[in-house]
């Protein structure tokens, strides 16, 4: 989806541009206040976002813009599922600015993300959600995401 998509509500959905990165870093800081396993670090987040911009076959940053302000973004990580024999997309970050929640922006951005995933041939979209984040769990349930019986392990290298 290279072209921006406008919705009825004056929300523009589009791929992120390099000039959006400072706002995306601020949105990540809001996200990391909700997700205690991560810590805001502007330089690291900027580096990670730039890596996404530099590798569009690996990930895609999508934004929701109201007027001239970026109010939400999603980080879509692309991979291949050997189980499904098809491409898969993982939503690594998804955040709506706290001052713009409850206005349908997240819903429109998730719909845009799912359409993007389908356009690249993905047959599955996944997301990790903190078990105590009831707002996020409710949000993803509305899109028919289901909980799977897996435990995620990670180790920093």
Nearest to 70 by CA among 10, 16, 3, 139: 16
pLDDT digits (tens, 9 = 90+) for 90-113: 999 999 999 999 999 999 999 999
pLDDT digits (tens, 9 = 90+) for 22-49: 999 999 999 988 877 788 899 999 999 9
Q: Which CATH number is correct for 5-142, 3.30.70.1560, 3.40.50.620, 3.40.630.30, 3.30.565.10?
A: 3.40.630.30
Q: Average pLDDT for residues 76-94, to the nearest whole number?
A: 94
Question: Does 60 score more than 90 pLDDT?
Answer: yes
Q: How far is CA 64 from CA 8, 81, 87, in A?
A: 13, 28, 24
**Can you give the residue ranges of every domain in the chain?**
5-142
- Tell me the whole-structure pTM to 2 decimals: 0.90
């Amino acid at each position: 989806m290279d072209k921006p998509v406008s919705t009825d509500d004056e929300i523009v959905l589009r791929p992120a541009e390099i000039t959006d990165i400072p706002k995306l870093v601020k949105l990540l800081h809001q996200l990391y206040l909700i997700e205690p396993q991560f810590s805001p670090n502007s330089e690291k987040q900027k580096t990670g976002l730039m890596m996404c911009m530099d590798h569009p076959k690996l990930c895609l940053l999508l934004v929701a813009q109201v007027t001239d302000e970026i109010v939400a973004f999603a980080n879509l990580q692309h991979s291949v599922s050997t189980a499904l024999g098809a491409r898969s997309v993982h939503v690594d970050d998804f955040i709506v600015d706290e001052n713009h929640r409850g206005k349908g922006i997240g819903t429109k951005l998730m719909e845009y993300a799912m359409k993007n995933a389908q356009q690249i041939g993905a047959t599955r979209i996944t997301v990790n959600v903190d078990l105590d984040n009831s707002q996020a769990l409710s949000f993803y349930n509305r899109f028919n995401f289901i909980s799977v019986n897996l435990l995620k392990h990670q180790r920093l290298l």
